Amino acid sequence: MQQLADPKQSLPLEISPGPGDGRSLDDLLAWVATEKSALETSLLKHGALRFHGFDIPDAQAFERLALAISPDLKNQYLGTSPRNARSEFTFTASELPPHYPIMQHCEMSFLPSAPTRLFFACTMASGAAGETPMADCRAVWRGLAPAVRGRFAERGIRIIRNYGPPTGGSRLDPWQLKSWPEVFGTQDRAEVEATAAREGTRCEWREDGGLRLLREQPAMQRHPLTGEEVWFNHAQVFHSEAARFEYRHILRRQPSLRSLGVTALLESLTAAKRVLRRPDDFATHCTYADGSEIPVADIRHLIDVFWRHMVFPRWERGDVVVIDNFSTSHGRMPFHGPREILVAFTQGQVVAA
Ligand SMILES: [Fe+2]
C-alpha cells in the first residue's frame, strides 16, 4: 500500500492501494493485520489516517475495518448531535441541517472520559463542500498567543449545556438543544443525576423542566500516550459568540448568498441572545472555571488559530478516516445535496492534565 503525507501538512497520512495492490475490503483487512503496530505509530505522529481508493461501500464494511483497527468500539453516545444508528457500532455522523456549521472539536472533550479514536466513512459524497476538516490540536495549543494561552492554562474552563425538557420545549426557540431524556435515554431524574455525577458533571433542573449541566475542566490536557500538550476542550464550540466568528471564515471559504445570509443571521441572533438571556441560559456556553466570562477577543483569536491549522480533505465514496481524538479535532463544512458520512468511536479513556 502507498502511504503519503502532504509535505506542507502532515495531517492526515493517506493510505491507498499501490500498483498491484488489491482494493477490496479483504485486501485492506489483511494489510491492516500485518501493519497494525506501524499504523498505531503513524496515527500517533500524524493525528489521522485516511484510507482512500478502497472498496468500503457501506456501514457493514466500514464497521469491519474499524473493528480490525480498534476492537474496543462503543455504541453509547452522550454528545449533542442528533444521530441515527446504521449498524451495531456505526451511526450517521450528524443529522444537523446541511447549512449548520460544526466547529472543530475533539469528541466529547467535555467529559472526563473521551473516546480515544474516531472513525468516519463516506457512503455518499455531496457534490460540493461538506468536508470533515481536521486540525492538529497540539499545534493549536502552541499557536495561541502566549497571553491567551496563559489565561486558559491558569484559569481552566466551565462548560455549560442546557438541554430541553421532556416535552421538547418551544419549537420557536432557535437555540433549543435536544431534550435531556433523548440524551440520557431515560426520564428518571435520579438516574440522570447518577450518570452525570460519574462524568464529573453537576445537574441543575430548570423551571421549564429543562436540564443545565455544568462541568469544570482544564483547557489543556496531555496526550495519554505521548504526553504532548493538547488544546482539549469544547470552548470554541460551546461559547455563545463562537458560531458567528466561525461563519465569517466559512463565508470566505464558501462565498455564497446562503453563507452571507447565515452569517448575518448568526450575528443578529447572537446580539439578540445577549439581550434576552443570561449566559447560564444559553443552549451552550463556556466561561473560565470560576464562572467569569472569557474575553470575546480571546474566543475570536482561538477560532482564527484553529482555521490556520485546519485541513480540508475532500470526501469520495469509500473513504475512511481514523482520528486520534486526543490530538486531532474534526468538524463539518456546510454542504448542498445528499451526503452520508458515518461515524464510529472507541471506548473512553480518562486523560490527565
Ligand atoms: Fe464530532
pLDDT tens figures, 49-84: 999 999 999 999 999 999 999 998 887 655 555 567
CA of 19 to the centre of ligand 1 (A): 34
pTM greater than 0.85 (yes/no)? yes
Distance CA 39, CA 14 (A): 11
**Banded pLDDT at 168 (limits 50, 70, 90):** low
Residue 221 half-sphere exposure toward CB, CA atoms < 13 A? 24
Predicted confidence band of residue 278 (pLDDT cuts 50, 70, 90): confident
Looking at this protein, which amino acid is placed at residue 96?
A: L
Distances in whole angstroms, Cα of residue 273 to Cα of each of 92, 173, 240, 313: 30, 11, 9, 34
Residue 152: left (phi > 0), alpha (psi -120 to 50), or beta? alpha
How far does residue 130's CA lie from ligand 1's centre (Å)? 14
pLDDT tier at 303, thresholds 50, 70, 90: very high
- What integer is the mean pLDDT of 10-16? 91
Q: How far is the CA of 154 from the centre of ligand 1 (A)?
A: 27
Angstrom CA distances, 193 to 198, 211, 264, stand at 9, 10, 39
Distance 343 CA to ligand 1 centre (A): 9
Strands (E), 142-210: 157-163, 202-205
pLDDT attached to residue 77: 59
Distance CA 167, CA 184 (A): 15
pLDDT of residue 31: 94
CA of 330 to the centre of ligand 1 (A): 6
Q: How many angstroms is it from 37 CA to the middle of ligand 1?
A: 26
Centre of ligand 1 to C-alpha 284, Å, is 16
- Residues near ion ligand 1 (Cβ under 5 Å): 107
Rounded distance from Cα 106 to ligand 1 centre (Å): 7
Greatest mean pLDDT among 136-145, 196-205, 260-269? 136-145
Query: 39 C-alpha vs ligand 1 centroid, how far in Å?
Result: 22
Residues 88 and 75 sit within 8 Å (Cβ to Cβ):
yes
Q: Say if CB 89 and CB 337 are below 8 A apart.
A: no
- In this structure, what C-alpha cell is assigned to residue 139? 499545534
Domains along the chain with CATH numbers: 2-138+313-350 (3.60.130.10), 144-304 (3.60.130.10)
Encode 7-23: b = buried (16+ Cβ within 10 Å), e = exposed.
eeebbbbbbbbeeeeee
Whether cis (ω within 30° of 0) applies to the bond prior to 12 is yes
Residue range 97-135, pLDDT digits in tens: 888 878 999 998 988 888 999 999 999 988 778 899 999
Written as nine digits, the cell of 320 is 475512511
Band (pLDDT 50/70/90 cuts) for residue 255 is confident
Category of 227 on φ-ψ map: left (φ > 0), alpha (ψ -120 to 50) or beta: left
* pLDDT tens for each residue of 202-213: 999 998 899 999
